[in-house]
Structure formats: C-alpha cells, structure tokens
Chains A and B, each alone.
Chain A
C-alpha cells in the first residue's frame, strides 16, 4: 500500500529534490587554491633549522640525519674550528631526491632539523632544489605553526 502511494506521489523523488535544494544554500567547500591558502596541518614539507639564542643553527654536524636518510639526499661536510670544535662547512639537502619521510627530524639529537608545512616545492630549474643551511634557517619564518 505504502509502495503504491510512494509511486503515485513521487515521494522519494521529492525527498531527493529537497536534499539537493538544501545543499544549494550550504557554503561551498572549494578552496580556490592559487588565490587562497590551502588549509594544511600535519604535513611534512620543506625542511627548516631551529636556531639557538645567538641566531645560529643548532646543527652540530653529527651526520645522524645523513646516515638515516633513506634517499641519501643530505650531504654534510664538517671541519675543525680554531678551538678544536666541529664546524659545519656544508649542509645540503637535495629536495628532488628527498622523499619527505621525516626520518632526519626523528634522528636529530639536537632538535635542529625539522620539517615545515610548505608544500609548494615546484620550480623551473633543478639547481633550486638543492637547499643549504642558510635557506633552511630562513625557512623557519615560513612555518605556520603546529
């Protein structure tokens, strides 16, 4: 009986029409990407370095991140300073090889290297993908926070 009623009066079709009409006045969920920031959180993006109170990178050149890196994209060179301390001569990450796994962040004993939430890694030349210590220290400013 109910089935016949439903067929004759299109009740289900009207229910569907009601649903679509209700959705029409909802706020669209679209993010106009190039014009608006995408809402991003818990994302492993381009690396950054934490600094100590003097504004120098916390990295001590212990090679742990280079060892743990599965893509072998971190290249570190160290040197002895005048007082016998270790100086980091070169610290480069090849972003075109990096797989953004976050192991370097976990391996770091000095809380130096971290991953920011920057996802705009696109570029027109390969050279720009090799980032150095200065770039990573600068990149600290681009972190939107946790």
Chain B
C-alpha cells in the first residue's frame, strides 16, 4: 500500500516536472516559430540557438521583487494565481499519455490515474481555472485588470458550452467518458476526426478561445487593456499566470489529441511518441494561428460563440445520437 502511494507520488512529480519543462520550452518555441514566420530569428543570444532563454526568463522572474499594490484585496490577490495554475496542472492527472507496459515482470501504468469520468473532470477543472482570472481582475483594483477579467469570464463561459457540446459526439461514439476508454475505442478503427470532423473544428475554435490565445486573446489585448487581468502582478505570481496559460494549452491539446486523433494509437512508433507528436502538432497550430490571424472584436467573438458554434455543435450532437442509435 505504502509502496503504491510512493509510486503515485513519484509519477505525479515526474509528470509535473516534464509538464513545466514543456511549458518553459513552449515559450521558447513560440518566440522562435513566430520569429521565423515574420522572417526574424527569434531568441538566439542565451545558449545555443537561444535554448537557455526560458531558464533565463524564469530566473529573472524569480529574482524580481514581488510587488503587492496598496489597494488590492490581499488574500484574493494572492489566491488568484494559485487558482489559475493548480487546476491547469491537476488536469494532467487523468491524461493517458501511454499504454500500460511490462517492465521486469511488473505491470507499469505510466499515467497517474484512469478516472471513469476523466473528460468531465478536465472540463470541470478548466472551469475552475476561470475563477483565477476573475478573482485576479477583481482583486487588483485596477480598471484594466477588471475589464480584462470581465471579458475573460464572458468568453470562457460562452465557449465552454460549445466545447462541451463538441466533445459529446466522440463520447457518444466511444460510449464512455473515461479518456483511456476513448483512446482504446479508437484503437483498431478510425480516429474520431473522420466521423466527427465538424465537432473537431468546433472544438478547435472553442479550445483556442477557452485558453485566451490569439486570435481570441481579448482578455490580454495589449493594445486596448495594458495586459489584461494580470496587469498588477509581478515576479512569481506573474510567472504562475504565464505557466497556467501554457499548461492550459497543453491540456486542451492533449484532449484534442486523445479524443479526435486517437491518443497513443499509431503505427510503428511507440505509443508515447505518437501522443507527444499529436500534442506538439496542436501546440504548433496554436503558434501558427497566432502568427497569422488578427484579433477579433469582442462582439464578433461573442456572436461567433453563441450564434455559430453552439448551434453547429448542438446539431452535431443530435445527428450523431441518431446515427449511433440506428447503428446499435
């Protein structure tokens, strides 16, 4: 019993370490990719090809003074970044990134746990993450932060609906909400991107809006609001928001890879490599979109969410259920 608990703790530590490293290097990749897309070089100075840049950035942020402005609501102000970061990281508890394998006669389960309501758990946690944004904007006592957090909450609540509805289609096909079950349901046959292509597109758009990234980065519109909800934050608290944003991108990409691209399924290469490749493809797509598209206006954003995506997702759910009912 004790050994099992120890193993789980070790697994959690490994997953979080790898995730944070991935988050750090995603910032490097983002600057590099967007730089090259704008015919620039991106970071080159710190280390070979700028590879030590994220570490330098992290050290800089840790070494900075942690300023708490006078008029903030202190407890809420301190809790908000934690509320952003912790749900983003804990969503990885149910992400199955590799299949079970046998090592020295022991059955090793690489992912942390397989909850039978995995997808629901991830969706719930991503909603909890919104509270971090709302609280940070409210507690900062600054009009820009407040506007940013109001926009953010409106946006996340609208797009959460479309995202959940888009995920219902694959759930109906798989007949389970467990992420491992969904992965195994796609093992031999088609990946769900083929029968559920509409849901895939809706999910992709909603996911980008959900994580507040370009072209839906209204809450952090540098041109209008100074930086959005985290404008009053500095040092480690700012770093937490930053990590939370990228960790959320990873969560959303992993869900997309599992639900629509069949998770660890794939020929020749081992399962874990396939999973990482799919997730990295989605992450690259994020950066690609950021380098390409301008930001939407806020009314356009809300109109797209409510008038286009939600009806399409609902129609997709209805059609999928009818087809599944007829076939079974």
Contacts and interface: CB of A to CB of B under 8 A. Distances in A.
Interface of A: 13, 16-17, 19-21, 23-30, 32
Contacts of A29: 39-40
B36 A13 contact: no
Given A23-B39, A27-B39, 17 more contacts: A13-B292, A13-B293, A16-B293, A17-B288, A17-B289, A20-B288, A20-B292, A21-B288, A23-B37, A23-B38, A24-B33, A24-B37, A25-B36, A26-B39, A28-B36, A29-B40, A32-B41
> In terms of DSSP, what is the predominant structure of the interface of chain B?
helix
Of the four ranges (under 10, 10 to 19, 20 to 34, 35 or more), the interface on chain B belongs to: 10 to 19
A16 B292 contact: yes
A16 B41 CA distance: 21
Given A13-B292, A13-B293, A20 B41 contact: no
B72 interface: no
B44 interface: yes
B12 interface: no
Contacts of B39: 23, 26-29
A11 to B, nearest CB: 14
B1 to A, nearest CB: 52
A142 B33 CA distance: 38
Contacts of B35: 28
A119 to B, nearest CB: 22
9 contacts: A16-B293, A17-B292, A20-B37, A21-B37, A23-B39, A24-B37, A25-B36, A28-B40, A28-B41
A20 B285 CA distance: 12
Nearest to B290: A20
Contacts of B38: 23
Nearest to A17: B292
A27 B36 CA distance: 8
B200 to A, nearest CB: 13
Contacts of A27: 39
